[in-house]
Amino acid sequence: MFLTHIYRYTKFLGTVLRSLVRRPYYLKEIIEQLYQVGYRSLSIVSLTGIFTGMVLAFQTGMEMSRFGAKGYIGSVVALSLVRELGPVLTALVVAGRVGAGITAELGSMRVTDQIDAMRAMAIDPYKKLVSTRIISLLIMLPVLVAVADALGLLGGLIIATTNLNVGYELYKSTVLDALLLEDLVSGIIKPFVFAFVIGTIGCYLGMNTTGGTKGVGSSTTLSVVLSSISIFILDFVMTKIFFLFGRPV
Amino acid sequence: MIEIANLSKSFNGKVVLKNLSLKFEDRKTTVVLGRSGCGKSVLLKLILRLLSIDSGRIIIDNVDTTDFSEQQMMNVRKKMGMLFQGSALFDSMTVYDNVAYTLHEHSNMSEENIRKIVKEKLSFVEMEGTETLMPAELSGGMQKRIALARAMANDPDYIFFDEPTTGIDPITAQTINELIKRVQEHTGSTVVVVTHDLESAAFVAQKIVLIKDGGKYFEGSPEEFQKSQKGFVRLFRSGGKEIESYED
């Protein structure tokens, strides 16, 4: 069963990759999906980012105060957010909101013959439905992660200045000192990989849904579970790889 | 013309179609009859290649499409329209967008021309003025009619009907039957109807094929079907009442 899924998922990836480069490109659908994936996720991603930054600054700041190191709170917040928490938490939120939505939508279309109707009308559903959603995720997730990072740093600044008596200039300089170009690169690569995983898992499960409305529910749950597990595993693997390529510890 | 030769299809070891051979002649309405689950709908999906073929050949307009790729099938499908059993309207779109879907995808027509065609097709199925409605706002019978308008939008050479009268009341069913007849007369398309509804078959068919055990059991005109003394034909015709005399 597991091997069958691996085989079918691999085959699905081949079909998706072919459809990504083939005409037509459905720009109108991509723009619609950019709105659905990006704009409509903005509020939840913003809240996640700012509160993560605040709680991170508060928790670590209190501990660091005991050792007289609270001045470095900016470095801690920046490194934790940009390297790990920003990409991972944003990806998890998007997997829950967008990935599940994609699976439910495509799954419903599948069990009500709408996907077959599309094929019968000589329209490629992989091109029209799948590739447009994956492209939108690939574009929007890095943007959402950047928003979450920025708001997380802002949340950290709020706590640093109001609770920890760390000034704006000190916070800013420790943030800028801590972040390296490699961090920004990994901050782009990670969400890009997560977006591909969320999109392909969501679409694969949706396009292969069977068993009526119950099947749609199962596929949707599985989509969130598999995407979340994949995000955690891939985050670890990518972090290891980035360190192997020389990022300072 | 669509020619099917020795077509077989199984699902998880269960044989649904076995060496089925038949022809759908041009500009005629052929009704494929059979018990529920005998593979009638599968046959349509195999012709459209929505399902893969296990063995056998499908020849459409003298071109063997059996080994066609999905991309090659796209061009074949442009000549076809299908009305699905559950209508399969795109539920996130209005009636107008559903009917105009193929035209938006496959033609360079202006929106004004598309609007004219949509209006004409909706008028044909007696659903004028429903352009802005969503599928959820329509009854089952209305959805079938919109699905027919959608299937006819690009004037296909072949129109397939999958159980068009299932799940609707007898009066609406008769309206659908009249529409099927009118479609064939009006467009000259080759029409294939799969159903287990004998009244519907008697009303629309110019030729009847009865499927049993995955193969062709009977093929002939509606008159020949009515007169046939073959066991399963009699059983089917009587709605299972002549079961004692069934010997096949």
Domain spans, chain B: 1-79+163-248, 90-155
Query: Which pTM does this prediction carry?
Result: 0.89
User: What is the mean predicted confidence (pLDDT) over A122-127?
Assistant: 94
Q: What is the pLDDT of residue B247?
A: 55
User: In which residue ranges of chain B is pLDDT below 50?
Assistant: none
Q: What is the pLDDT of residue B240?
A: 74
Chain B closest CA to A105's CA: distance in Å?
Answer: 10
Nearest CA in chain B to A25: B105
Residues of B in contact with A112 (CB under 8 A): 86, 88, 91
- Quick: pLDDT tens for A131-155: 999 999 999 999 999 999 999 999 9
| Residue A32 at interface with chain B, using a CB cutoff of 8 Å | no
Nearest CA in chain A to B89: A114
- Quick: pLDDT tens for A58-105: 999 988 888 888 888 999 999 999 999 999 999 999 999 999 999 999
Chain A closest CA to B230's CA: distance in Å?
Answer: 36
- Report whether A49 contacts A150 (CB < 8 A): yes
Q: What is the pLDDT of residue A176?
A: 93
Q: What is the pLDDT of residue A184?
A: 82
Chain B closest CA to A91's CA: distance in Å?
Answer: 27
| Residue A112 at interface with chain B, using a CB cutoff of 8 Å | yes
Distance CA A167, CA A178 (A): 17
Cβ–Cβ below 8 Å for A123 and B86: no
Cβ–Cβ below 8 Å for B86 and A124: no
Which residue among A112, A114, A120 sits closest to B48, beta carbon to beta carbon? Answer: A120
- Report whether A201 contacts A94 (CB < 8 A): no
Q: What is the pLDDT of residue A69?
A: 87
Our separate counts of H helices and E strands in chain B read: 9, 10
What percentage of chain A has pLDDT greater than the value 70?
Answer: 98
Residue among A60, A63, A65, A62 nearest A80 (CA) = A60
Nearest CA in chain B to A114: B88
Q: What is the pLDDT of residue B244?
A: 55
Q: What is the pLDDT of residue A249?
A: 43
Cβ–Cβ below 8 Å for A114 and B90: yes
- Report whether A171 contacts A177 (CB < 8 A): no
Contacts 24+ apart (CB under 8 A), A171-175: A171/A73, A171/A74, A172/A74, A173/A74, A174/A71, A174/A72, A174/A73, A174/A74, A174/A75, A174/A78, A175/A74, A175/A75, A175/A77, A175/A78
Which residue among A116, A122, A123 sits closest to B88, beta carbon to beta carbon? Answer: A116
Distance CA A167, CA A71 (A): 9
- Report whether B53 contacts B4 (CB < 8 A): no
Domain B1-79+163-248 is of which CATH architecture? 3-Layer(aba) Sandwich (3.40)
Output the average pLDDT for chain A.
93
Chain B closest CA to A125's CA: distance in Å?
Answer: 11
Which residue among A109, A113, A122 sits closest to B84, beta carbon to beta carbon? Answer: A113
Q: What is the pLDDT of residue B238?
A: 83
Chain A closest CA to B165's CA: distance in Å?
Answer: 17
Is it the case that residue A215 has pLDDT exceeding 50?
Answer: yes
Residues of A in contact with B91 (CB under 8 A): 108, 112, 114
Q: What crossing angle do the helices spanning A132-162 and A2-21 adopt, rounded to 10°?
A: 100
- Quick: pLDDT tens for A150-207: 999 999 999 999 998 899 999 999 999 998 888 888 888 999 999 999 999 999 999 9
Residues of B in contact with A109 (CB under 8 A): 90
Distance CA A217, CA A211 (A): 10
